[in-house]
Amino acid sequence: MVRIRRAKPEDARELLEIYRPYVEHTAITFEWEMPTEEEFRGRILRTMERYPWLVAEKDGLLLGYAYAGTFKERRAYDWAVETTVYLHPSVKGQGLGRRLYKALEDVLRKQGIINLNACIGVPQAGVEDPWLDDNSMH
């Protein structure tokens, strides 16, 4: 049974490992280098000052996460966020991303957020990424 819960700072190491292949093998994250565990923990804490950061957990193992962040700095955008979802490749295609996003949406609705935006990096068409097709746990 997969449980969705709020992230904790001590989740940073495991969440960073979910994030790692996206940074190292794709352009999806728009990051050039892996953040440190300390930096990632800081991201979680800063995000949760205002917005939710949720994790999907099964049998003590984290399988993915979703969070919201500031969409634009101007006050008129206070009711809009940018959303993010990352999954471990072993759970891709099982509906977990949808469950995480729905849970995130529910929390944001309670906060009065009405616009959810996703900035999505799409790999080049026709280029296969063997990592993204790998269903094993790394």
Rounded CA-CA distance 49/59 in Å is 28
Q: Is the confidence at residue 106, as pLDDT, over 80?
A: yes
Report the pLDDT value the prediction gives residue 1, as an integer from 0 to 100: 93
Confidence of residue 136 (pLDDT cuts 50, 70, 90): very low
Per-residue pLDDT averaged across 69-89, rounded?
93
Res 39 pLDDT > 90 = yes
